[in-house]
Structure formats: structure tokens, C-alpha cells
Amino acid sequence: MSNDTNESEQQAHPNYPSVDQSDRVLPRNLRQTGDADIQLLISTRVRKSPLWHLSVQEGCWRATVYNRMYHPRGMIDPEDGGAMAEYDLLVNHVTLWNVAVERQIRVKGPDAEAFSNYVVTRDISGLERMDARYTICCNEDGGILNDFPLLRIADDEFWFSIADSDLMQWLQGVNVGENFDVEIHEIDVSPIQIQGPKSVDVMVDVVGEEVKEIPYYGLMEAEVNGCPVIVSQTGFSGEKGFEIYIRDSMENAERVWNPVLETVREHGGDVIAPSHHRRIAAGILSWGQDMDFETSPFQVNLGYHVPDDKEADYVGKEELERQKELIENGEYPFTHKLVGLKMAGEPIRDYASDFWLVSDPETGEECGYVTSPWWNPELETNIALAHVPAEKLMDLGVPLDDRIYEEGTDIEFQVHVPDKYAEEPGEPVYAKVSEVPFKPSVNPSAREQAKLNARKEANGE
């Protein structure tokens, strides 16, 4: 076969081979399929949570599948403002979310702490009872299997409040060879979230004044309408917020949901879908979109989950420490790195159907892809998280450690958006690497707070 034929076939390749995915076994599907006019099949093969019918009653018009469960992703009708009206309720008032798809995997037994510490990368051996911590599990190759709040309910009981990948079978499989003295099961607990600036007022009315004393990632036991719950100060929004974990939810779902919804409405709020536009602004990652089982923590600014001082062994430790050493020595073992982008173009007010392609404005070559784009009304610009070539960042002197990019980084790309968002049909829009988070969280992470403190110190505050 001639070289001309090879070249022709490569150019016709539908999955854009110019985007280097040589560090992956299973490439991302970068085919640009666009919106599809299809109907979501509702059947018994995919589980309905005990809150599903309540979301339907409140007007859910769009859904997806998350953790093999139906998940509401649209509550306010598009003609009434749709996702951006939901955003307004979140950032200015208070909102109720059905997040029962955050399945709760309980690890219980004498070795619960040792087992949990073995399967997460951070050291959680000092985690107090009724406290929680954001954690990740990685496989032996250092790929992120899941990210989640880990709740310590008792000395011998942990709950893994998992993201969208089935972790229970992996946890059970790990223990086949390790024989920790634990039981690993999914339990009948369904979370709901109360998010927004008025969430504290709602929670005071629902469970009492003591909720004000819960620290960020802290837990408390309570009752709602006579039903036992766990309350945490956590959430997926970057706004002030709480989660209510409904125990025995097959029995108690309505008894908790109904009075909480009534209280939310008394404070000017309503039911919305999980706010991906706000979590993007806060730099909160979504498993499956921004990262997956072949993504290293060092590619998505989660390198702080690979500690220097965790003596105990854990799954993936050897490979993650190897990657860490390479990066500290100025080598980067991956093709791409996650960055924030501020993008030109028409406002993006809904979910992207595809990983939009990113190209180099100097060469025009496709070289990366956008994972999570949306319009931010406060910043009056489109924002996005995107995987871009690490080599280009290195050539321009950008450090590829775990720091967050500062505003003013003079690195530009082009994003190939659908025509409805383009300034000119068929033409890409310009994008500039930007600081993440785009909009600060109400409860900043330790890294965000360290950066804020450094700025204050530099300004003499």
C-alpha cells in the first residue's frame, strides 16, 4: 500500500488521530456526533431511586443514567429559562437536588479503617468519627476509579458516597486477596442536596440551630419528620450547601423530601438538577467527563491526593509515586493536562453532546478536547475545562505540577464549537488558558485557601 493511501486513510479517520492519545489503552471517542433527537428509554434494567418519582412529580423533563440509575438533569422548562434559571436560583436563593444516584457503599467491620486507608490514596487513618474527607481511589496503574466524600459514621463504619462509576465490585474484589475483616455492601441510603446562600436558613428550619456548628465536611445525626438522617456540610456546587443522607430511603423518601421541599420553597427556592455550570466555575471535576480510569491525578490537578508522608500501603502507590518523582524532576509522563479556558463565541447555556476539539491556532492541528463547557453570567464569558497538550504547556514554561494556573497566562487555543455557538459558522473560537477555579467557592479547598492567603500576604493585608 502506498504512503499516499495511508495518508488518505489517516485524514479520513473519524476519531481525530492528530490528538495524541498514545498514553491511553482506550482512546476517548472524539467523533463529533452532535445532538441526537432520541428518547430516553425508561425500563426495569436501570434502577429508579426512591426519589425518582418525586422528581418526575416536580416536572423533571430530562434525565440521564448515572451509576446505573435514572438521574434528573432538567427541572425548569426551557421556555421558563431552563438551566440558567436553575443557576439563578442556586447562586441567589436556595435549591433542592435529587442526588440519590450517589450510591452509598458501606465498609463495616473491625478492619474498616485499615481497608479504607488501603483503597484511597490520601491518609485517612486520623479521620474522626462523624467527619468526612474528599478522596479518590486509583487502580494499580494510577488511574482514577472514583472520587467521592468518604464519611466516617463510626469507628468501624465508613460510607463511600460514590461518583459515576461502579466501585462496590472493585472494593469487594480488592478484598478477595487481602482478607480485611470487613463487610462491603451498598446500603439503603439516598442523599439529597440543599445548595445556595439560603441553605443554612433552610437547614435550621429542618433540623435545628445546631446545624450551624457543622464544619465543612463535618457530619451530624438528625431527624427529619421522624426519620433518621445524616447531615453533612458538603455539595457539588461551590456554593454554601448541605447534604441529607436519608436512611431506610425506600421507606422514608417522601417523609423527608416533602417537608424539605416545602421549606426550600418558603425561602424562595425550588427543585433543580445538579448544577454543572456552577461546579465548572468552581473547578469541581466530574468523573467520566473531566477524568476517568485512565486519567492520573497529576493530569487533573489532584496530585495533592498523592501524599509524601503516607507510610501505609495503598492501591496504586508504587505507580503514583513514580509519576510524582518524574514530575518533580521536570519530566511529564502524559500527553495531556487539564486546564481552564475562557472562550469566545455565543453563550453556551446547555450540555455539550461531544468532547469539542481543541486546536493549535498557530498550526491549525487538532490537539486536545473540551470536557466541560458553559456560560458564566458573572464573568460574562464562556468557560471550560479542557485537556490540552502537555508539551505545548512545557514549551511555554507552564509548570506541570499541581498548582492552579494564574490569571494572565498568555496561552491561546482554538475550540471547534457547534455553529450555534460560533462567531462565524464553521470557524473555531479563540480560548485563553485561565485560572481555576473561575469563580471562588464559598468553602475554598485547602489549595484555594493557601493561594488566597498568599495573595493577601503579597498585598500586605
Q: What is the pLDDT of residue 426?
A: 94
Among 418, 367, 303, 354, residue whose Cα is nearest residue 16: 367
Q: Where are the beta strands (DSSP E) in 354-452?
A: 357-359, 366-376, 381-389, 412-415, 429-434
Mark which of 284, 314, 346 sits at the end of a domain: 284
Tally the domains of the chain.
2
Confidence class for position 134, pLDDT limits 50, 70, 90: very high
Confidence class for position 456, pLDDT limits 50, 70, 90: low
Q: Which structural domain range is residue 422 located in?
A: 335-451
Among 282, 276, 99, 260, residue whose Cα is nearest residue 193: 99
Does residue 351 form part of some domain? yes
Residues 185 and 262 in one domain: yes
* Alpha helical stretches, state H, 122-198: 168-178
Residue 98 sits at φ, ψ, to 5 deg, of: -90, 105
Euclidean distance between CA atoms 208 and 231, whole angstroms: 11
Q: What's the pLDDT tens digit per position in 8-24?
A: 544 578 899 999 999 99
Residues 253 and 391 in one domain: no
Q: What is the pLDDT of residue 395?
A: 84
| pLDDT at 69 exceeding the cut of 70 | yes
Residues 74 and 160 in one domain: yes
Percentage of the chain with pLDDT > 70?
Answer: 92
Q: What is the pLDDT of residue 13?
A: 82
Residues 265 and 387 in one domain: no
Residues 252 and 343 in one domain: no
What's the rounded mean pLDDT across residues 312-341?
A: 95
Dihedral, CA atoms, 251, 255, 256, 257, nearest 10 degrees? 100
Does residue 372 form part of some domain? yes
Q: What's the pLDDT tens digit per position in 414-445?
A: 999 999 999 999 999 999 999 899 998 887 66
Mark which of 284, 319, 343 sits at the end of a domain: 284
Q: Are 128 and 218 in contact (CB under 8 A)?
A: no
Confidence class for position 412, pLDDT limits 50, 70, 90: very high
Does residue 300 form part of some domain? no
Euclidean distance between CA atoms 124 and 132, whole angstroms: 9
Q: What is the pLDDT of residue 443?
A: 76
Q: What's the pLDDT tens digit per position in 223-236?
A: 999 999 999 999 99
| pLDDT at 332 exceeding the cut of 50 | yes
**Can you give the CATH number for the domain in which 86 is found?**
3.30.1360.120
What's the rounded mean pLDDT across residues 189-205?
A: 98
**Can you give the CATH number for the domain in which 366 is found?**
2.40.30.110
What's the rounded mean pLDDT across residues 296-308?
A: 95
The set of cell numbers assigned to 36 is 441526537
Does residue 318 form part of some domain? no
Does residue 2 form part of some domain? no
What's the rounded mean pLDDT across residues 361-370?
A: 96
Q: What is the pLDDT of residue 459?
A: 61
| DSSP 8-class letter at 123 | -
The set of cell numbers assigned to 187 is 446500603
Residues 111 and 247 in one domain: yes
Does residue 365 form part of some domain? yes
Cβ count near 31 (within 10 Å) = 12
Residues 259 and 362 in one domain: no
What pTM value is reported for the model?
0.94
* Alpha helical stretches, state H, 49-131: 52-57, 82-92, 112-119
Q: Report the Cα–Cα distance between both ends of the chain, in Å, rounded.
A: 69
Does residue 94 form part of some domain? yes
Residues 352 and 256 in one domain: no
Residues 437 and 345 in one domain: yes
Cβ count near 261 (within 10 Å) = 18
Mark which of 284, 313, 344 sits at the end of a domain: 284
Residues 164 and 271 in one domain: yes
Q: What is the pLDDT of residue 70?
A: 98
Residues 257 and 369 in one domain: no
Euclidean distance between CA atoms 198 and 80, whole angstroms: 22
**Which uninterrupted H or E stretch holds 106?**
strand 104-108
Euclidean distance between CA atoms 247 and 219, whole angstroms: 14
Longest Cα–Cα distance of the chain, Å, equals 76
Does residue 235 form part of some domain? yes
Euclidean distance between CA atoms 388 and 403, whole angstroms: 16
Using alpha carbons only, give the angle 15, 20, 23 rounded to the nearest 5 degrees. 110
Residues 229 and 360 in one domain: no
